[in-house]
Amino acid sequence: MSVRKAVIPAAGLGTRFLPITKVVPKPMLAVLDKPTIQYIAEELLSVGIDDVTIVVSPGSEIIKDHFGESNELEKRLLADGKLELYSILKDTMKFKVNYCVQKVANGLAGAILCAEPFLNGEPFALLLGDELLWANEGQTPCIKRLVDVYNKTGKSVIAAMEVFGDDVSKYGNIGVREETDGVITVDRIVEKPSLNDALSNYAIIGRYVLSGEVIDMLKKLTPRNNEIYLTDVLDQLAERGDLLASGFEGDRYDVGDKFGFIKANVEFALKSKEIGDLTAEYIKELAKKL
């Protein structure tokens, strides 16, 4: 079965961004002029997936509002002939979004289980709400690459990037069984290993395409520290030879982290037609003073 559905977990506490996340969910923080979650939803357009379930925390009406209708503003922009702005507004409304509320932030696996009623046992793309993947002109978007690999093999596939030094211990780590044409058959997964225990330099990042059976596997897990972990299911799939990993083209920004967020904003400002040149000039001037 081809991949028609996607889940974006966006119900985390966002403690690294307090105090703004006291009221504003982290995926609503803007990179330049667009909330992170809209960039993520737009990644899905590259694979024609428009059936998206966003997992939100209680009281996250602002996310629904962002993707919802905006009648008054629409009418006003049309009446004023501001068609470019109207089209920007329209772009926020083109997704078919389902919402489910994760009552208690009990982790990523809990968020995925919350979305179960919308998945009907089908395979689904999983895109973490605080990572931005950007494909430049001519590059294949990360999620498209994963969907292509899934459609070819029918096996769950995760996105991987190379990391070095201390960064190895910040991510789930992949053991390589074999590697052909840029696709790795995963042997094992270890969560945030010490440098000595790392299986390779490949880290798991926040894009996945998972087969429908992952939901049942999550339900059967025995909790560790009162929590269940997606990585435990990935490890089970890997043990059976049923988990693949793929690299990706383009740039990744961890916008759930303050420095990653600033990097994304600076780089997106530099890419912007409107303020790119101004930003570049400013950065050059600023650099002289550093």
- Interacting residues toward ligand UTP by CB under 6 A: 9-16, 26, 55, 102, 105-108, 110-111, 128-130, 256
Q: Which two tokens stand for residue 196?
A: 């000595």
Angle subtended by helix axes 276-288 and 258-271, to nearest 10: 120
- Tally of CB atoms within 10 A around 88: 13
H or E element, residue 203: strand 202-210
Query: How far apart (Å, rounded) are the C-alpha atoms in residues 101 and 185?
Result: 34
Tell me the closest approach of the beta carbon of residue 254 to ligand UTP, in angstroms.
9
Among left, alpha and beta (phi > 0; psi -120 to 50; other), residue 30 is beta
In the complex, what is the shortest distance from the CB of residue 61 to ligand UTP, in angstroms, rounded to a whole number?
16
Q: Which C-beta is closer to ligand UTP: that of 112 or that of 238?
A: 112
Closest approach of Cβ 100 to ligand UTP, in Å?
10
Report the run of H or E that residue 236 belongs to, with start and end: helix 230-239
**Smaller CB distance to ligand UTP: residue 115 or 243?**
115
- Minimum distance, C-beta of residue 36 to ligand UTP, in the bound complex (Å): 9
Q: How far is the CB of 206 from ligand UTP (least distance, A)?
A: 7
CB nearer ligand UTP, residue 215 or residue 269: 215
Which CB, 248 or 261, lies closer to ligand UTP? Answer: 261
Q: Closest approach of Cβ 111 to ligand UTP, in Å?
A: 4
Q: Which is nearer to ligand UTP, 189 or 269 (CB)?
A: 189
156-162 and 202-210 strand pairing: antiparallel
DSSP string, 57-114: -TT-HHHHHHHS--HHHHHHHHHTT-HHHHHHHHHTT-SEEEEEE-SS---HHHHHHH
Q: Kindly state the tokens that stand for 280.
A: 């570049």
When the beta carbons of 107 and 123 are compared against ligand UTP, the nearer one is: 107
Least distance from ligand UTP to the Cβ atom of residue 178, Å? 30
Closer of 60 and 279 to ligand UTP (Cβ): 60
Chain centroid, CA 50 distance in Å: 15
Least Cβ distance, residue 270 to ligand UTP (angstroms):
25
Instruction: Choose between 41 and 77: whose C-beta lies nearer to ligand UTP.
Output: 41
- Nearest residue to ligand UTP by CB is 12
Going by their DSSP bridges, the two strands 156-162 and 243-246 should be labelled as parallel
133 in Cβ contact with 252 (< 8 Å):
yes
Q: Are strands 183-191 and 124-127 parallel, antiparallel or unpaired?
A: unpaired
